[in-house]
């Protein structure tokens, strides 16, 4: 009877190890693309660390085709640029889509309703989805 219980425990442990090793979330195909698609939409800046008074007026709209529209709530002027993902946690945007020397920003957090990226070493921008 002890051998059966020990055998079942070993089997259960083996199944648990298999599950945790082979079913990692990052191994699922298409998950990285799903995370990158979370950025698509209109975002309102709510915090720029020391520049909070400037943040409330800024909006960023990320489109699926790689265009980024920057706008201000009190201005009818929109600035259209392009963006691209450099890695799963870094994004770059530039005036020209062919420009390889755009400004790159580290994505600190990206969820379906919030975006936080680092502008410089000391400035972090927090945006919420509209």
3-class DSSP state of 78 = strand
Look at residue 129 in the predicted model and tell me its pLDDT.
93
**What does the pLDDT look like over 68-77, one tens digit per residue?**
998 887 667 7
**What does the pLDDT look like over 58-68, one tens digit per residue?**
888 999 999 99
CA distance 110 to 36: 9
Beta-strand runs (E) in 40-102: 41-47, 58-62, 67-72, 78-87, 90-94
- Tokens coding 87: 């890695």
């Amino acid at each position: 009877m002890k051998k059966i219980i020990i055998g079942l425990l070993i089997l259960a442990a083996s199944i648990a190890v298999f599950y945790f090793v082979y079913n990692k979330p990052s191994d699922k195909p298409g998950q990285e693309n799903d995370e990158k698609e979370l950025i698509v939409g209109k975002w309102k800046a709510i915090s720029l660390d020391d520049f909070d008074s400037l943040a409330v007026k800024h909006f960023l709209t990320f489109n699926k085709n790689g265009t980024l529209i920057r706008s201000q709530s009190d201005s009818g002027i929109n600035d259209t640029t392009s963006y691209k993902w450099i890695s799963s946690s870094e994004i770059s945007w530039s005036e020209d889509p062919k420009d390889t020397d755009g400004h790159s920003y580290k994505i600190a957090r990206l969820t379906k309703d919030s975006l936080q990226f680092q502008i410089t070493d000391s400035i972090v921008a927090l945006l919420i989805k509209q």
